[in-house]
C-alpha cells in the first residue's frame, strides 16, 4: 500500500513539473520563431539628406527641408559642407525645419560672424595654413550652446552626421565624424581668407566646399541607399568643368583654386548621383546675403523648390515605406519631425532643442 501511494505521488509530481515546463517550451519556441522571422525580414532602405555650401544661401536649404519633412521620408543620416554643415549639424541633434527657420531669422549674422582676428605680423615661413580676417569664436560659442556642447562620435547623435572640410596642408578632402560638433562645423565653414583655419588632429582645416560642395559621395560611403541633396550653387556651375589638377599648397593653393576649380568635376558627379536633387533658384544672391529681406526671399525660394520636388520625394517615400501608402504623413505641416526617423522631433531631445532655440536669439 505504501509503495502504491509513493508511486502515485511521484506520478502526480512529474505531471505538475511537465505542466510547468510546457509553457516555457512554448514561449521558447515562440521566441525562436520570432527571432527567425526578424532575421529574415529585409531592412528598409536607408535615406541620407545632403546639404551643400553656400553661405547665406543656406536659408534656401531650410525652406527646401520643409518639403522633405512634409513628405514623411525617414532620414537616417545627414551630411553637410560649409553652410550645409551648420544646417545638418543642428538637424542631427533634433531641430526640425521650422525651428531652423526661426533660429535663422532671429540672428544678427553680421554680428555673429564679424569678430575680427587680432592683426599679428609673422614671417611668411611661420604662417600656419591660410590667414583669415575673422576668428569665428562668437559664432562657434553660439553654435555650441545650441548643440549642447556635444563632443562624441557623430554616429551617436540622434541622426548620424558627417561634416566635410579640407586640410590645406596637402589640399585633401577630410570627412569629420567625431569630436566637438560645433568645432567640426566651424572647420567646414572656414572660408579661406575670411575665417582663420581650424587646427584639428595636426590638420589645418578650411571650408570643405573647396573640394566637395555637395557631398553625395560621402552619404553613399555611409551606406545610404537613397540620397536627397539640396544644392545651393549658382545654376551656371551645373555645367562647368574643372580646368585641371592642383599643384600648390597653403595660401598659394587658394589662388590656384580660384582658376582651376578642382571641385567642379566631383560636383557634377554628385549632382547626377543624387536620387532627388533640390536646387533652389539663388540667382542674384551671394554668401553674404544676410539681410532680413534676403533671408525671407531665400527661404521662400527654397520652399518653392521643395514643393516642385514633392512628386519625386513621394516616390522615394513609397520605396522606403511601401506599407504606408495612402496614409497621412506624420511629417506633414505642424509635425515635430520626420516619421520614423532616428531624430524624432517628439523626443525629449527635441524639447531640449526647442528650449535652446528660444535662447539662441539672444546675444
pLDDT at position 131: 62
Specify whether 207 is catalytic.
yes
H helix runs in the chain, sequence order: 2-40, 58-71, 83-92, 97-106, 109-113, 137-147, 181-188, 216-221, 250-260, 263-273, 292-308, 310-320, 348-360
Helical (H) or strand (E) element with 132: strand 132-134
82 is catalytic: yes
Which among 211, 217, 210, 315 is positioned nearest to 274, based on CA atoms? 217
pLDDT at position 231:
98
From the candidates 82, 329, 339, 344, give the one annotated as an active-site residue. Answer: 82
pLDDT of residue 312: 98
pLDDT for 223 equals 97
Assigned C-alpha cell, 68: 522633405
pLDDT at residue 134, rounded to an integer? 84
Give the per-residue pLDDT at 3: 54
Catalytic residue chosen out of the listed positions 76, 101, 167, 207: 207
Q: What is the pLDDT of residue 338?
A: 34
Give the pTM: 0.77
Cα(29)–Cα(170) distance, rounded to whole angstroms?
Answer: 59
Average pLDDT by stretches of 10, the chain with 363 residues: 47 46 42 38 86 97 98 98 98 98 94 69 47 81 93 96 94 96 96 90 94 98 98 82 69 74 93 98 94 97 98 97 54 36 43 49 43
Amino acid at each position: 500500500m505504501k509503495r502504491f501511494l509513493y508511486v502515485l505521488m511521484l506520478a502526480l509530481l512529474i505531471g505538475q513539473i511537465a505542466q510547468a515546463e510546457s509553457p516555457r517550451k512554448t514561449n521558447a519556441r515562440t521566441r525562436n520563431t520570432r527571432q527567425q522571422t526578424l532575421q529574415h525580414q529585409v531592412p528598409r532602405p536607408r535615406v541620407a539628406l545632403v546639404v551643400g555650401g553656400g553661405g547665406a544661401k543656406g536659408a534656401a536649404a531650410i525652406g527646401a527641408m520643409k518639403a522633405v519633412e512634409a513628405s514623411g521620408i525617414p532620414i537616417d543620416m545627414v551630411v553637410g559642407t560649409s553652410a550645409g554643415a551648420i544646417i545638418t549639424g543642428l538637424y542631427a541633434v533634433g531641430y526640425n525645419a521650422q525651428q531652423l527657420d526661426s533660429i535663422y531669422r532671429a540672428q544678427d549674422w553680421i554680428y555673429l560672424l564679424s569678430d575680427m582676428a587680432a592683426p599679428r605680423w609673422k614671417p611668411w615661413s611661420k604662417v600656419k595654413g591660410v590667414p583669415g580676417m575673422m576668428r569665428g569664436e562668437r559664432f562657434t560659442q553660439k553654435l555650441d550652446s545650441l548643440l549642447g556642447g556635444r563632443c562624441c562620435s557623430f554616429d551617436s547623435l540622434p541622426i548620424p552626421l558627417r561634416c566635410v572640410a579640407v586640410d590645406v596642408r596637402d589640399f585633401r578632402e577630410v570627412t569629420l565624424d567625431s569630436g566637438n560638433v560645433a568645432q567640426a562645423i566651424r572647420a567646414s565653414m572656414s572660408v579661406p581668407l575670411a575665417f582663420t583655419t581650424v587646427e584639428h588632429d595636426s590638420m589645418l582645416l578650411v571650408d570643405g566646399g573647396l573640394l566637395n560642395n555637395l557631398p553625395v559621395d560621402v552619404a553613399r560611403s555611409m551606406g545610404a541607399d537613397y540620397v536627397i541633396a539640396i544644392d545651393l550653387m549658382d545654376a551656371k556651375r551645373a555645367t562647368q568643368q574643372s580646368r585641371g589638377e592642383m599643384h600648390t599648397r597653403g595660401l598659394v593653393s587658394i589662388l590656384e583654386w580660384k582658376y582651376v576649380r578642382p571641385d567642379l568635376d566631383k560636383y557634377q558627379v554628385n549632382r547626377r548621383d543624387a536620387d532627388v536633387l533640390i536646387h533652389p533658384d539663388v540667382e542674384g544672391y551671394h554668401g553674404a546675403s544676410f539681410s532680413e529681406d534676403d533671408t525671407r526671399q531665400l527661404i521662400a525660394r527654397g520652399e518653392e523648390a521643395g514643393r516642385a520636388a514633392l512628386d519625386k520625394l513621394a516616390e522615394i517615400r513609397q520605396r522606403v515605406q511601401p506599407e504606408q501608402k495612402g496614409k497621412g504623413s506624420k511629417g506633414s505641416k505642424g509635425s515635430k519631425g520626420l516619421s520614423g526617423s532616428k531624430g524624432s522631433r517628439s523626443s525629449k531631445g527635441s524639447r531640449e532643442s526647442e528650449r535652446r532655440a528660444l535662447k539662441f536669439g539672444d546675444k
